[in-house]
Chain A
Amino acid sequence: MSRSHRISALVSAVGIVISAYLLSIRLIGIPAICGPALGPFGGCSKVEASAWSSIGPIPVAAIGVVGSALLLVATVLHARTRREDVLAVWLFAALAGAAIEIGLIAIQAFLISAWCVWCLLYGSTVLVGAASVIRVARSYAREAHDSSPLRR
């Protein structure tokens, strides 16, 4: 398993834990570890109470659990098999997730005007995971180019 695979697996696992925690706050109503003690990043309840915390009946945190689980599975599978189709699925999921995360961070900044520390930590795991898969894809592209018959 390369360094990029290890980083992606680690941040995906952390992402699952954070999004599952956020989902349980929403579904079960357990108290969130947040609030004024966390300074400018303690706006979790404001973010959670906002209309942006779900798409219709689906909590965004639930999408986070599924997305991070998919990234973890794709990472481990690619580390073991090095198959191109697995890399394609991994890259697709990571870049889609990164684009959505950038949108969600912008929503916190410009529409809700509050920062949720857990949402930001989760966003960091997705962005770091996306950087890892891009690194793997570039390495794969270099190897494919070097082994091309035209280069031999």
Chain B
Amino acid sequence: MELIRRAALSGIVVGVVGVIVLFLANPFSGTPTPSMDENFTPVAPVLIPAEGLASGHGLGAEDAPVVLTVWTDYQCPICGTWGNGVEPALYERYITEGKLRVEHRHYSFLGEESFLAAIGAKCAADQDRFWAFHSYLFANQVGENQGAFNAGRLRKIAEASGQDLAAWDTCIADPAVRAEVEADAEEAKSLGITGTPTLVIGDWMDSGIPAPEDLYARIDEALGN
């Protein structure tokens, strides 16, 4: 019976310690939470590409030997992890070396705010400032369809990421741009993509975020290393 008593006591102690660890771990997560009030100031992203390294919807040299195509929805939490964590790591490891180009594709399916964010991003691409806007979006994710990417906040993100606001305002009102975002989503479906992020290198395609060493091995293999 002594063993049972000790097991019960240990279980409760371990459970309480687990809750305390959960509480203590999070203040050190390092991810600032964007404000949801009207005085919204966008959180600056980790990755601001160096001049000349971002063009169109891509990041990295246009003649890079390996192209990684990434389909995301700007509201998907794991895409946020990709944009805020993995892309900066790839930037440091491969992109600044000229070995990799990341091509972004829109697969908006989580709701209207996903479409609004993607439309804003396409209009940023028209000004050749796509990647700054894209990084700001991921840095300012808050839930899904709760106003994080409403029109007012997206305009502030456009301003923070250096867009010409007059041109951007005109562009997002163009129905043709929305049609392009919807066409992107249809293309994703036709390719059999069912979740985000979905990564594509050559013939390889996978959903979710692989372990860093697996992703690096995949890129290295494509580089012929």
Contacts and interface: CB of A to CB of B under 8 A. Distances in A.
Interface of A: 26-31, 35, 45-46, 48-49, 51-52, 55-56, 60, 84-85, 87-89, 91-100, 102-104, 107, 137, 140-141, 144
Contacts of A95: 8, 11-12, 15
A88 B6 contact: yes
Given A51-B26, A92-B11, A103 B19 contact: yes
B78 A27 contact: yes
Contact of A31 (B8, B109, B142, B143): B109
Interface residues of B, number: 43
B4 interface: yes
Nearest to A144: B1
A44 B4 CA distance: 37
Given A27-B208, A97-B15, A99-B16, A55 B4 contact: no
Interface of B: 1, 3-4, 6-8, 10-12, 14-16, 18-19, 21-22, 25-26, 29, 31, 33, 73, 75-80, 109-110, 141-146, 194-197, 207-209
A97 B16 CA distance: 9
Given A97-B15, A140-B4, A29 B77 contact: yes
B25 A88 contact: no
Q: Which of B8, B15, B31, B197 has the most CB of A within 10 A?
A: B15
Q: Which of A35, A48, A49 has the most CB of B within 10 A?
A: A49
Contact of B19 (A29, A30, A100): A100
A85 B142 CA distance: 46
Contact of A99 (B1, B15, B29, B80): B15
Given A28-B195, A45-B146, A49-B141, A85 B15 contact: no
28 contacts: A26-B78, A27-B209, A28-B78, A28-B195, A28-B207, A28-B208, A29-B197, A30-B195, A31-B109, A35-B145, A49-B77, A49-B142, A55-B21, A60-B22, A84-B3, A85-B3, A88-B6, A89-B7, A91-B11, A92-B8, A95-B12, A95-B15, A97-B15, A99-B11, A99-B16, A100-B15, A100-B19, A137-B8
A29 B3 contact: no
A35 to B, nearest CB: 7
Q: Which of A87, A96, A102, A141 has the most CB of B within 10 A?
A: A96
A93 B11 contact: yes
